[in-house]
Structure 1
């Protein structure tokens, strides 16, 4: 497509609004001319510096909340990849020409993420509009008047909204903490699988409430030469998701002990899920390991495929027995089941989608990233391999969805 060559740096500098580009670590990467003019700072005073080192709270105001509110917004954008429009903020600024003198200033900020192809946040666009003159208009002009009353009401409502947002964040933080404790209590501690080695991990989302819907399970079957391993993912988050997760994990664990195979166990779980509020559209994958026959029998209910890496580094995804999530069909239909052989020294990995899925990225890219990491670290013991997979696959900004992981040395 032909068209004019656009100098985006020139466009950025010519923007009439004040805009700064921050790294995910909240360091100034670039600012436009309007931002320099508004802030009363030079480029040398900003670029490469931590934003709150340049603009700290007014030490003479014990009730100052500017740093705290802006920091919470910027960290949320960096962690979730979602934009945040902040309530009106009072954020005093030190006078660059008069040390110790602070100017009372009011701002309307918007923070927007810039995403890399893999969905990670590479920059944060911090756009601010100064409204100090508008807020002070009533005092400056004196007297009443309809306009001044409206401006005062606007400021009051903005402060109330700011306080409400603060309380909501605190409530979410409390719910997240309780949900995580509940999740930890309901997930089983790893048990020895005879002389076989296994490791499990649960990694909550970073700075978000999108936690507590994922689970894992390992079950030694009555036939001592077989083990069932499973993972699942409940739609939703927080305390409700944790409660549903606990019910489904327990039901699948019980069904696995009496079912003839993973497909039958998932069929039982699907029937049970119809009577559990919040269980609809849950995904799950179950694998039965036959240690004597060296086979993996598996079935999936809409879940990402388990992966097997052989001793030579060849990774195979167990994707030949995939069916819709639990409760997706109005009537009961038998679920598919498939089998694959494995060689001694192979590694089996089950996981939930938070490990591989990224915004605006095809799922195949995430699966390939998993395969590459698994092949590279395949000789490590399960604990080290689990940690290596999390290190390689978790983006720098952290997970936006919780993740469960099982690694079994075959």
Structure 2
């Protein structure tokens, strides 16, 4: 049904619950049928009249504050342009049949803005839940207080639920920005060995779980060589993604001029010392020399790369492991190791989201990875990468990011 066919005035009158529209001057612009009926005021007594002339505070009760609290809420909505959910309020409402007689009422209001084309508040939606019957005394003063407390707890819980929903939307927006940033900084590599390389990145499930996982591949100067690295920044969200981008860029530049992977990590460690959020980040980098058939590597606290030899043997490259970046106030040169390979071998670098599971020893995850790599070792890099992710990541999604690089040697 097109919007033009919908009678929104009829929809407004039929809304469940008490709903009124107020101008920015807090004058009633309209009220639905239930608001008219439950408030005890006619439409003529409402529309066109100032809210607090229709419903003033009880002048005989100096402690009466319901209307003052409502005024403060409405002013917040006008000032911020955001919805405001009030806790349950007690109001003394003057009887229209018996002037001077005030009836005790309990209302739970929600006030929301209606914005015009310029973003300014042009109307206020004032929705009220009438909970007087829920509170009303059915067994003496003690019972009244208990019912009031019960209702207050209920509406506090509802208010907290709305706050949580706002936080969820804010976190979802942060996740969206962080993912966009990560994807922009983790492009598909353009290497001389393009057909022999596959990369994958899988974000964690949940609005708060965008992390700092990253990968990098570069053509190295001198000979038929490439540099391959993966890393993981501690933390979640936009801050982790920003730190990740800085470390990745720095390592990419250092790799092109370093004598080896250990020297590249030395440079990166000094840089990490001045990057907010980079402390305790882990990274492993390999220099692959296709002509010499060697892999030189160095690790700063990261999980070891897996080298799948052509005969199916899996070698985890763990002979040059050191603490994470910026872990020591006085950094010392990083260790470096070298291994050899034959044609048809496969090098796999990954982050902990691929193999780590709660309440499970890390060796179990590494064994699971080795098994999958052996069974799919004859597949091309793209197919192998997909198979590993499919078999190792939970079907419902992982709670940590995963970066994966597969290089056919």
TM-score range, shorter chain: 0.5 to 0.7
- Shift of the alpha carbon at 1:269? 0.2
**What SS class does the counterpart of residue 406 from structure 1 fall into?**
strand
- Shift of the alpha carbon at 1:141? 2.8
Aligned to 2:92: none
1:265 aligns with 2:242: no
Q: Deviations over 1:38-90 (max 9, x none)?
A: xxxxxxxxxxxxxxxxxxxxxx9989xxxxxxxxxxxxxxxxxxxxxxxxxxx
Aligned to 2:61: none
**What SS class does the counterpart of residue 218 from structure 1 fall into?**
strand
Check 1:227–1:146 CA distance in 2 against 1; reply closer, same or farther (3 A cut). Answer: same
Check 1:140–1:398 CA distance in 2 against 1; reply closer, same or farther (3 A cut). Answer: farther
Aligned to 2:152: 153
CA distance in 2, matches of 1:370, 1:310: 14
- Shift of the alpha carbon at 1:404? 0.6
Aligned to 2:201: 202
1:280 aligns with 2:313: no
Structure 1 residues 115-264: aligned runs within 5 Å: 138=135, 141=138, 145-194=144-193, 197-264=196-263
Q: Deviations over 1:225-264 (max 9, x none)?
A: 1110000000011110111000000000000000000000
Aligned to 1:301: 300
Aligned to 2:315: 316
Q: Deviations over 1:181-225 (max 9, x none)?
A: 111111132213347510100100012422230110001011131
Retained in 1: the 8 A contact 2:247–2:272? yes
**What SS class does the counterpart of residue 169 from structure 2 fall into?**
helix
Structure 1 or 2, whichever has the larger Rg, is 2
For normalisation by structure 1, the TM-score amounts to 0.66
Retained in 2: the 8 A contact 1:183–1:212? no
- Shift of the alpha carbon at 1:304? 0.3
CA distance in 2, matches of 1:386, 1:184: 18
Structure 1 gaps, min length 5: 1-59, 64-134
Aligned to 1:76: none
CA distance in 2, matches of 1:228, 1:371: 23
Check 1:61–1:206 CA distance in 2 against 1; reply closer, same or farther (3 A cut). Answer: farther
For normalisation by structure 2, the TM-score amounts to 0.66
CA distance in 1, matches of 2:158, 2:334: 55
Check 1:226–1:358 CA distance in 2 against 1; reply closer, same or farther (3 A cut). Answer: same
Structure 2 gaps, min length 5: 1-13, 18-131
**What SS class does the counterpart of residue 231 from structure 2 fall into?**
strand
Q: Deviations over 1:266-306 (max 9, x none)?
A: 01000000001110000000000011100000000000000
Relative contact order, higher structure (CA 8 A, sep 6+) = 1
**What SS class does the counterpart of residue 241 from structure 2 fall into?**
helix
Check 1:269–1:143 CA distance in 2 against 1; reply closer, same or farther (3 A cut). Answer: same
**What SS class does the counterpart of residue 384 from structure 2 fall into?**
helix
Retained in 1: the 8 A contact 2:191–2:219? no
Q: Deviations over 1:291-325 (max 9, x none)?
A: 11000000000000000101121110000000000
Check 1:156–1:265 CA distance in 2 against 1; reply closer, same or farther (3 A cut). Answer: same
Retained in 2: the 8 A contact 1:208–1:400? no
CA distance in 1, matches of 2:399, 2:136: 45
